[in-house]
Structure 1
Amino acid sequence: MTTRPRPALKSLPATPTSPRSAEPTSATSGGGAPKGVGRKAVPSSVCPGPQVGDGRRPIAWLTITAPRGATPTATSVCDCGRNLFAAGHRRVLALIDDHTRHRNLCPLRTTEERNAS
């Protein structure tokens, strides 16, 4: 039994045997955009600078995945170090309640002003 020869791949160019420098291409005449295009100023879609917020940022995330016909899962993550996972309907519901309670008890969210009131 003999093996078939592998067909040559079209997308692979021949490997050069020695290094050579890049050569500039010559300018083409008559092709490309019509005359006058690209000479006007176009507004940029890039943001002008960093967005200034009000100082708030998310510190806790609750991710729930419940695909149809599969076991639901949930993950509760907080910047304070909390990282909990639950699988199954009852455990996911319990984690949702626990995550809600944690929002009021998290040391990163409780401040002196909040405790004073």
Structure 2
Amino acid sequence: MTAPRPLPLNSPTPTTPTGEDAVPSAPPTAGGEPEGAARKGVVVALRPKPRPTGQRYQVGGLHVIAPPRRTPRARSWCVCGRDRTATGTAAVLALVAEHTDHRTTCPRPATEGRAAA
């Protein structure tokens, strides 16, 4: 068997214009990449969308868990900073009454939904 022929080392001269006739070209962009996009990361920082003023949002809640044959638990919270928990039947019933009373005496400013209720 014979060895393959070596490739020629001389390359042809370029046929691109030089001097005043040469026009610089823009660097090519990657396929599918929009121009001006960041290489690593996002173009703009994402922020949460502001709530429209006309929509309702949750300002407090009462969450009661009472599975069968187990100890009931409850949590009451409000945007004013009140956050209480209770475990046991008597304590959960007391927390429900306290939560109902707090809704009428809460120091937070009255909202449209609260005034209507």
TM (norm. structure 2) is 0.47
Instruction: Give the structure with higher Rg (CA).
Output: 2
TM (norm. structure 1) is 0.47
